[in-house]
Copies of this chain bind each other. A is one copy, B any other.
Amino acid sequence: MNAIPTPSKGAATRELILDHAYQLARHDGLEGVSIGALALGVGMSKSGVFAHFGSREDLQLALLDFVSTRFIEFIKLPALKHPRGLPRLRAMIKNWSEWGHIHQSGCVLLSAAAEYDGREDGPLRERVRQQQSDWRNEIKRAVSLAVQVGDLRTDTDPAQLAFEIYALMLGLHHDAGLFGYEEASHHTSAALDRLFASCQP
Q: Which of B129, B176, B194 contacts A178 (CB 8 A)?
A: B129
Tell me which residues across on chain B come within 8 A of A117, comparing CB atoms.
Answer: 104-106, 174, 176-178
Contact A113 B178 (CB under 8 A): yes
Instruction: Convert A81-95 into 0s and 1s, putting 1 for each residue whose CB lies closer than 8 angstroms to a CB of B.
Output: 000000000000000
Q: Are A174 and B113 also in contact (CB < 8 A) when A167-B167, A168-B167 are? A: yes
Contact A171 B178 (CB under 8 A): no
Tell me which residues across on chain B come within 8 A of A190, comparing CB atoms.
Answer: 160
Q: How many copies does the complex hold?
A: 2
Task: Say whether A19 faces chain B, with CB atoms less than 8 Å apart.
Answer: no
Contact A128 B178 (CB under 8 A): yes
Contact B191 A160 (CB under 8 A): yes
Q: Are A113 and B177 also in contact (CB < 8 A) when A118-B104, A171-B167 are? A: yes
12 further A-B contacts with Cβ under 8 Å, apart from A166-B171, A167-B171, are A105-B117, A106-B118, A113-B177, A113-B178, A114-B114, A160-B190, A163-B191, A164-B187, A166-B175, A167-B167, A167-B168, A170-B170
